[in-house]
Structure formats: C-alpha cells, structure tokens
Amino acid sequence: MEILKQDLRPYGIDPSKGRSYENITYVLALVYNTLQARVEKYLAAQNLCAVQFNLLMLAAYQNNGQGLSQVDLSKRLIASASNITKLVEKSVRAGWLTRKTNPQNRRANIICITEQGQKLIDSIWPGYDALLRSLTACIPAQEQAAMAQILDKWFFNLQQENK
C-alpha cells in the first residue's frame, strides 16, 4: 500500500515551522484516535469496548495467568480505579473474570480470567489481529520494526521520568 503525503495544516500541524517534536506528538495523537475508533468499532460488534478487551487480555496473559490486582490492572490500562471496578464487575457478571481475595493482602482482590473469558478472547483474536495488521499495512515491514523500537524507547524513557 502506498503512503500518501498529506497536508496536516487542517489538523493544526504546520511542518514548515520545523518543530518536529510538535509534529510527532500531534500526529501520534491523531493516529491513536483513528486506531482507537477502528478498534472500538470492531470490538463493539463483539459487545466489548477496548478497555474491557484489554482487561481480559491482561487477566489472561500477565503474571503467568495467575491474575492481577485491580490496582495493577488500573495502572496498566491507564484507567481510573472506579472505571476498572465497573468493568471488572461487568466482566464477572458475564462470567469472563473471577475475583478472589489476595492471600497476601486480604483487602485486595486478584482478578483472573475464566474459561469462558479465555474462549471469548480466543474467538475475537483472529479478527482483532487481522484488523491490527490492516491498520499498519501501509508501513513497510522494516519500517514497522524501526518504528516499534523508537516507540518502545520513547515509552520506557517517559515511564522512567514518571518515577
């Protein structure tokens, strides 16, 4: 797929000003919004939102499938504790997650994926993966690898600054 050079000025981005840092952050925000809208549309057809799907994925694949605390989930999902509580409750009612008391801290819950939740992830994944592939298809494979490295480095550097 050919990458087209577009005029970004209608989006408030003027590359002629020579502020690459500004272009990077604004275009990244535009890309995120576009990707998020497409992912939400796909997941809505599965009766899920992106945060809920990511919640299920974290419960299934992080910490060797032993579950995570709601605090850890909220940190990894960049969502408020109250939002996570509501999504966990909805997912527990649907039979996708279980909530159990943390043996090291009786005031905390560990959230785990259920067999039904795992089956849901497994049924959604092929279409989700195909969507992500299609959304990045306009970027040549070698540039995808370089872009992934750059974004990873940026993310981890920003995370270090937060500590």
Residue-wise pLDDT for 128-161, tens only, equals 999 999 999 999 999 999 999 999 999 999 888 7
* CB 10, CB 16: distance < 8 Å: no
Terminal CA-to-CA distance of the chain, rounded, Å?
41
Q: What is the pLDDT of residues 101-125, one digit of tens each?
A: 888 888 888 999 999 999 999 999 9
Q: What is the pLDDT of residues 17-72, one digit of tens each?
A: 888 888 889 889 999 999 999 999 999 999 999 999 999 999 999 888 788 988 88
Q: Which long-range contacts (CB under 8 A, 24 or more apart) does 30-35 make?
A: 35/135
